[in-house]
A and B are shown apart, each in its own frame.
Chain A
Amino acid sequence: MPKSLLPWILVSQRLGIALLTLVIVSFAVFFATELLPGDVAEILLGQAATPEAVAGLRTAMGLDEPAMHRFVGWLVGLAGGDMGTSYVNKMAVSDLMGGRLVNSLRLAAVTTLVSVPIALALGIGAAMWKGSMFDRVVSVATISVISVPEFMVATLAVLIFAVWLGWLPALAYGANVDSWGAMLRAYAMPVITLSFVVSAQMIRMTRAAVIETINTPYVEMALLKGASRRRMVLGHALPNALGPIANAVALSLSYLVGGVIIVETIFNYPGVAKLMVDAVATRDLPLIQSCAMIFCVSYLSLITLADLIAILSNPRLRR
């Protein structure tokens, strides 16, 4: 086996494992949902759920088929690209999901664009000037940002910028977004809030990873050979720290698709996290499954991407 193929074999292994994970997760989500008390017919009827009414609605919705049967049916449909139909409002899951997924991805993308460069610059800078005033300020700031819960940041931001100063709209979605300026204003607060949450982790992991490589003998060698501090960090240490950094970034960003329920709630932003919560509350299985798949896919693709970067940036594996 030629050695140059090794990275690609590793890559295809990663992809295979990702696919397998997806199938296992869909099983787990399905059976966990089945364990929840009550089903969609009971929840829809709510206080009006008499036994006859529930039985009638169940039959009408096709819920009396065995659970396994429904699951396999959904999985087969998914393989053919059909995410199924929502039990609750009879709309295609893809229609319900479409607009919201775009919203979530847009918010995630803007947040990534803002937070990743800042976080990496701060993390690398802190490592480069370890022990300096700059390093200490960054450390204290990141710790404080991690410690303050995001609902607090979001609510305070709304109170200050929307209610007292009146600079920004309190809602990210209800507001008019007909111009670029208006869109920036609408996105400002959610993006700042989310950046606070995801950056802190990235900054600390980046700093730790870079410092660790700086402490290795080969970087010390570079310093002894007369390389500038900047060259030593950026040229010698950073490439080796790229793997762990990519992983830290991926872990932080994976949170942005499914985990931003608080930001979606406070800024009334219709994304997929709220959709998932709704789906669970109404026991809307096709929708729960599809949301879980989306979260799982985004998580896996980010992690796999990070692994790829780690594999491909590793000189020992490359050559």
Chain B
Amino acid sequence: MTKKTPNNWTGRDDALVEGMIRRGASRRELLKMLMASGVGMAVGGSLLTRASQAVAATPVFGGSIKAAGWSSSTADTLDPAKASLSTDYVRCCSFYNRLTFLAEGGVTEMELAESISTDDAQTWEIKLKSGVEFHDGSTLTADDVVFSLKRHLDEAVGSKVNSIAKQMTEITKLDDTTVKVVLAAPNADLPTILALHHFMIIKDGTTDFTTANGTGPFICEAFEPGVRSVAVKNPNYFKGNTVYLDSYEYFAIPDNNARVNALLSGDIQVAASVNARSLRMLEGQPSVATSITTSGNYTNLNIRKDLDPGMKEGFIEGMKYLINREAIQKSVFRGLAEIGNDQPVSAANKYHNPNIAPKAYDPEQAKFYFEKAGLMGTEVPIVASDAATSSVDMAMIVQQAGAEIGMNLKVDRVPSDGYWSNYWLKAPVHFGNINPRPTPDILFSLLYTSDAPWNESQYKSEKFDSMLVEARGALDEDKRTSIYWDMQEMVANEAGTIIPAYISNVDAISSNLKGLAPNPLGGQMGYAFAEYVWLDGAA
């Protein structure tokens, strides 16, 4: 029998290839890519045939679906600058487009931009695609882009990315389809930064967000904050007739069981982010399928290096050996997580360093280090809360492991409300929860540089700070990668943040909904599922 798939070939890889085909990659391009990654011609060919069948055999135009997220409130907004909940991201992805977007593997691709070029990573020229229309019929011009980017600098807008946007010191229109952006300091990541959901392009002068006027695959027909939104297919979409659904309704069912039940009863076709506990109920249901995504979301144990007990040499090392990563992955997350290696750049990111081995669970080593720190017999409180996903369960596992070697760890469970302002970053030993970010630069400057606003363990290293600046300005990919790999190693070994696992997101969908591929950007296909899915048997 001929081998049809190479070793280590997973469903995710299938989805990757299918995704590329869907976005218009030719067979020749794909084969080239597969060969480059070490897949033989014959096997590559059969893979492609299978993927093209999966993509080509099924797409059907037409039909409407109802999809439910998990978070919604009166703060729901169509203003991309203010988007904060997953629900907002889904809506923004439907109604607007970004200049660039992040594809599988963290590769930046062009969307509204034709090209983004620079010579020194400081002065950038953004060339726009021509013939892109807003929903009101007007054509996309450089003015719209300038307006969309500049408003993040205005504090009255309340943009979530104000601090990131601040590096754009000059945003000017060169001609109708060209925009010049000058940065305060070189940053080779600009194209990736522009792929953040908040940098969606809106119409010049927009101040009213009761409805959305964008260039996106869907037109906003109804929007009631905290209740629902209805999106209908955009007939003049600049990518052509690529959207399968006629319309979809999006709302949130915050209660996990209610969301799963609504899916099981057929009232909705997508139940985003279901709890691992409810998967048992879904197994064996022919009407339901699941889609699992692991991006960079993690819950971590932070030990401040400037406070007792973290300042005692040996305590942090001891804790790194005491935390049972496998037990956390298996029992806390029920297998729906990837084991982490104490640094924030996950395997979904192209700069992930795979060579840093996670520390093995070794109570004897831990005991040795605790004795070195002189902390055996002292009670050490660990602050945990439901606010940081699964942190209470994780704290219990560490506490148990501590008890076995005679280390007295005490779990302080505190309320969710106010956790982020009262305990996070403040308690000597506490849990945090960090959402995925697209670039190592954003992660490191947010979490690990000496002046980072959220330096969870008060890690300070001048070498690390200067490496970050060096990598930021480097246009040479290999050089950046090697710097980022070294930095990940520094964080894993020196900082006091223990990252035991990257948490997976499980979306449950109706089995006749096709085309929902896992996307490293997050659940619901990086929040953009509506543009790509189709309903089997709709036509």
Contacts and interface: CB of A to CB of B under 8 A. Distances in A.
Contacts of B155: 52-53, 55-57, 59-60
B161 A48 contact: yes
A158 interface: yes
B123 interface: no
A169 interface: yes
B32 to A, nearest CB: 41
A53 B267 contact: no
B73 interface: yes
B158 to A, nearest CB: 4
A198 interface: no
B258 A44 contact: no
Chain B facing A: main interface SS = loop
A279 B226 CA distance: 10
A48 B162 contact: yes
A50 B225 CA distance: 26
Nearest to A38: B421
B139 interface: no
A21 interface: no
B210 interface: yes
Given A170-B267, A278-B226, A282-B73, A268 B160 contact: no
Nearest to A282: B75
Q: Tell which of B158, B251, B257, B261 has the most Cβ of chain A within 10 Å.
A: B158
Given A45-B160, A170-B265, A174-B268, A89 B74 contact: yes
Contacts of B251: 174, 268
B212 to A, nearest CB: 13
A16 B261 CA distance: 48
Contact of B158 (A41, A166, A170): A41
A268 B82 CA distance: 25
A170 B74 contact: no
B262 interface: yes
Nearest to B74: A278
A159 B74 contact: no
A256 interface: no
A139 B84 CA distance: 50
A248 interface: no
Nearest to A159: B261
A258 interface: no
B255 interface: yes
Q: Tell which of B155, B160, B255 has the most Cβ of chain A within 10 Å.
A: B155
Contacts of B163: 48, 50, 53
Interface in A227-286: 265-268, 270, 274-275, 278-279, 281-282, 284
A268 B68 CA distance: 10
B249 interface: yes
Nearest to A88: B75
B456 to A, nearest CB: 13
Contacts of A89: 74-77, 209, 225
Given A45-B160, A174-B268, A155 B257 contact: yes
Nearest to A46: B84
Interface string B344-363: 00000000000000000000
A52 B163 CA distance: 10
A55 B422 CA distance: 20
A175 B420 CA distance: 37
A248 to B, nearest CB: 31
Interface in A265-319: 265-268, 270, 274-275, 278-279, 281-282, 284, 287
Contact of A37 (B74, B209, B421): B421
Interface residues of B, number: 45
Given A275-B74, A278-B73, A158 B156 contact: no
A312 to B, nearest CB: 41
Contact of B226 (A47, A267, A274): A274
B205 interface: no
B265 A60 contact: no
Contacts of B210: 91
B158 A59 contact: no
A46 B160 CA distance: 8
A188 interface: no
What is the size category of the interface that chain A forms with chain B?
Answer: 35 or more
Contacts of B253: 171, 268
Interface in B57-112: 66, 68, 73-77, 82, 84
Contacts of B264: 162-163, 170
Nearest to A262: B255
Interface string B390-427: 00000000000000000000000000001011100000
Contact of A266 (B66, B82, B258): B258
B224 interface: yes
Interface string A150-168: 0000010011001100100
B227 interface: yes
A44 B267 contact: no
Nearest to B164: A48
Contacts of B227: 99-100, 173, 270
B225 A267 contact: no
Contacts of A44: 75, 82, 84, 158
A254 B135 CA distance: 46
Interface string A49-68: 01011011101100000000
A175 B163 CA distance: 42
Q: Tell which of B68, B225, B251, B261 has the most Cβ of chain A within 10 Å.
A: B261
A48 B421 contact: no
Contacts of A46: 84, 160
B333 to A, nearest CB: 23
Contact of B258 (A96, A267, A270): A267
Contacts of A85: none
Question: Shortest 6 CB-CB distances between A and B: which pairs?
Answer: A56-B155, A60-B156, A162-B265, A278-B73, A170-B265, A170-B262
Interface of A: 37-38, 41, 43-48, 50, 52-53, 55-57, 59-60, 86, 88-89, 91, 96, 99-100, 155, 158-159, 162-163, 166, 169-171, 173-175, 265-268, 270, 274-275, 278-279, 281-282, 284, 287
Given A47-B160, A169-B265, A171-B258, 13 more contacts: A41-B158, A46-B84, A47-B435, A56-B155, A60-B155, A89-B77, A91-B210, A158-B261, A163-B264, A174-B268, A268-B262, A275-B74, A275-B226
25 contacts: A41-B158, A44-B158, A45-B158, A48-B162, A53-B159, A59-B155, A60-B158, A89-B75, A91-B210, A96-B225, A100-B227, A158-B265, A162-B264, A163-B265, A170-B262, A170-B265, A171-B258, A171-B262, A174-B68, A174-B267, A265-B255, A266-B255, A267-B258, A268-B258, A278-B226
